[in-house]
Chains A and B, each alone.
Chain A
Amino acid sequence: AQSVAQPEDQVNVAEGNPLTVKCTYSVSGNPYLFWYVQYPNRGLQFLLKYITGDNLVKGSYGFEAEFNKSQTSFHLKKPSALVSDSALYFCAVNNNAGNMLTFGGGTRLMVKP
């Protein structure tokens, strides 16, 4: 069975500082990894995904994520946080034979001015 762990319920960062939201995964076969963001009273929005190729993936709103196969991690990063980045972030995994996307429990990002 595939699974995703987001070890931090909440991450606090000051505006302008770099941010990291952690994600580790477990899956058989090659992983397809996704990050989504949820703003209050909204559905999830796709940020970026890793399918194959370059381990550093760039996505929307200046976010990027690094795939690390040996550590089975896919951490979300941004060089300079904005207050408007405050939201709930979900990591998700599927495999190349799978039909179901498995989500982590979510990490709330709080960016303070």
Chain B
Amino acid sequence: DADVTQTPRNRITKTGKRIMLECSQTKGHDRMYWYRQDPGLGLRLIYYSFDVKDINKGEISDGYSVSRQAQAKFSLSLESAIPNQTALYFCATSRRSSGGYNEQFFGPGTRLTVL
């Protein structure tokens, strides 16, 4: 979805380096998410944010941190990258809802390789 952008699209880094992945959206959505995709495992939630001051851990948050700089921006950091963090990372957004019935809109992904 062109309304959700991710930078960089590809990144190769070395073990122990700090790296930041950035996500921006122009959809005006309150909620933003970070997922990682591994073959055969589908997408797993790393962190999610319901607004600028509301950040929550997902299923696999260890080794990751996030920052919600504004409603439209949500960045994911790997403090000290390790090879098993090699994956495809997706940012997503959704409208606010009282339940989980709103679909999510995904960015194009960032392919991260940790050597």
Q: Which residues of A contact B (CB under 8 A)?
A: 4, 9, 32, 34, 36, 41-46, 49, 51, 90, 94-101, 103-106
Contact = CB atoms under 8 A, between A and B. Distances in A.
B88 to A, nearest CB: 10
Interface stretch (B13-21, B65-73, B79-87, B105-113): B105-113
Given A99-B56, A106-B42, A43 B100 contact: no
B99 A46 contact: no
A44 B103 CA distance: 11
B100 A32 contact: yes
Interface of B: 1, 4, 40-45, 48, 50, 56, 58-59, 90, 92, 99-101, 103-109
B48 A100 contact: yes
Contacts of A44: 43, 90, 92, 104, 106
B46 to A, nearest CB: 11
A109 B83 CA distance: 30
Given A42-B108, A100-B45, 13 more contacts: A36-B106, A43-B108, A43-B109, A46-B103, A94-B101, A96-B100, A97-B99, A98-B99, A98-B100, A99-B50, A100-B48, A100-B59, A101-B45
Contacts of B92: 43-44
A43 B59 contact: no
21 contacts: A4-B42, A32-B100, A34-B103, A41-B108, A43-B106, A44-B90, A44-B92, A44-B104, A45-B1, A45-B106, A46-B103, A51-B101, A90-B42, A94-B101, A96-B101, A97-B99, A98-B99, A100-B100, A105-B41, A105-B42, A106-B40
